[in-house]
């Protein structure tokens, strides 16, 4: 059966000492509280703090993810970070195709597919983000948009490769806006994604893939969202920068 996952996407936040404090605060909470069974906690700090985070993670019960990876293997790509580098640092997960990367850095579904390939070749689990912008939702196109993102980003994979992938549905209009999708709005897209996976890969595999919700998820709404049958956890932005809130969300199952 699929895992419950709560992943913190710190985005471009925290200085070195703030990052150190935040990880320590998370670890302190983990010492005091036992996470619900089958819940995996993932921390995705900025690149410069990955090493520090993996060092701490070795002593505690959370995994580490990067926020981005190059679509190229290696070589003259100044400023890029390769999947091989992440593998050599024992990074477990990597976010791909976040809406901020799609909007500000020109990432397309083709880029997402190439990054997913790089990660899988290096044994790192991709957390692939999909989601519609406000105008698309207002035009009733959310199902179509998400279908295209899932098909073009993932459907070149074999069934065994797909099993390594986590999907995050993040409606762009809900990210950082305080405006959360209602549980019904989120559940219907999650069910849609799972049915796309079932049609292509079969029901059994579709049922094994964790699909996370992201977009203004916080302690006050996590319980209701996570109670939906096709919502397997959350990709948390703002609330992951406060250890208390992040852990409260992780305890919401």
156 is catalytic: no
Interface with ligand 13P by CB under 6 A: which range of 76-84, 157-165, 232-240, 245-253?
232-240
Could you say which of 98, 100, 132, 136 is catalytic?
Answer: 98
Residues in 109-168 at the binding interface with ligand 13P, rule: CB under 6 A: none
Residues in 162-181 at the binding interface with ligand 13P, rule: CB under 6 A: 170, 175-176
Sign, CA dihedral 78-161-226-6, equals negative
From the list 232, 185, 226, 174, the residue with the least C-alpha distance to 208 is 232
Among 153, 171, 215, 233, binds ligand 13P (CB under 6 A): 215
Q: Which H or E run includes 87? A: helix 83-88
Phi, psi dihedrals of residue 93, rounded to the nearest 5°: -130, 165
Q: Which H or E run includes 134? A: helix 134-138
Among 23, 43, 231, 235, binds ligand 13P (CB under 6 A): 235
- The verdict on 214 binding ligand 13P (CB under 6 A) reads yes
- The verdict on 97 binding ligand 13P (CB under 6 A) reads no
Among 190, 237, 245, 247, binds ligand 13P (CB under 6 A): 237
Exposure of 228 by Cβ count < 10 A (0-12 exposed, 13-18 middle, 19+ buried)? Answer: middle
C-alpha span between 8 and 183 (Å, rounded)? 20
Q: Which is nearer to ligand 13P, 210 or 216 (CB)?
A: 216
User: What crossing angle do the helices spanning 50-57 and 16-32 adopt, rounded to 10°?
Assistant: 20
Exposure of 20 by Cβ count < 10 A (0-12 exposed, 13-18 middle, 19+ buried)? Answer: middle
31 is catalytic: no
- The verdict on 48 binding ligand 13P (CB under 6 A) reads no
- The verdict on 231 binding ligand 13P (CB under 6 A) reads no
- Residues making contact with ligand 13P (CB under 6 A): 9, 98, 170, 175-176, 214-217, 235-239
* Residues designated as active site: 98, 170
């Amino acid at each position: 059966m699929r895992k419950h996952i709560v992943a913190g996407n710190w985005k471009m936040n925290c200085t070195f000492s703030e990052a150190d404090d935040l990880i320590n605060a998370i670890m302190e909470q983990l010492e005091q509280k036992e996470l619900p069974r089958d819940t995996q906690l993932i921390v995705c700090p900025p690149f410069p703090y990955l090493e520090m985070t993996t060092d701490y993670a070795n002593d505690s019960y959370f995994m580490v993810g990067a926020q981005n990876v190059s679509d190229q293997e290696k070589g003259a790509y100044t400023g890029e970070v390769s999947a091989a580098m992440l593998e050599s640092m024992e990074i477990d997960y990597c976010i791909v195709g976040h809406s901020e990367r799609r909007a500000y850095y020109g990432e397309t579904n083709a880029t997402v597919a190439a990054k997913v390939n790089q990660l899988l070749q290096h044994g790192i689990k991709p957390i692939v983000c999909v989601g519609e912008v406000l105008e698309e939702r207002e035009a009733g196109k959310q199902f179509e948009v998400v279908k295209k993102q899932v098909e073009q980003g993932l459907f070149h994979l074999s069934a065994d490769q797909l099993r390594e992938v986590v999907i995050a549905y993040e409606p762009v209009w809900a990210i950082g806006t305080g405006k959360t999708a209602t549980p019904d709005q989120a559940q219907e897209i999650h069910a849609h994604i799972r049915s796309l996976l079932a049609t292509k890969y079969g029901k059994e595999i579709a049922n094994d893939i964790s699909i996370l919700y992201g977009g203004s998820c916080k302690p006050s709404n996590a319980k209701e969202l996570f109670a939906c049958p096709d919502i397997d956890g959350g990709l948390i932005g703002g609330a992951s920068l406060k250890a208390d809130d992040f852990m409260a969300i992780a305890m919401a199952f």
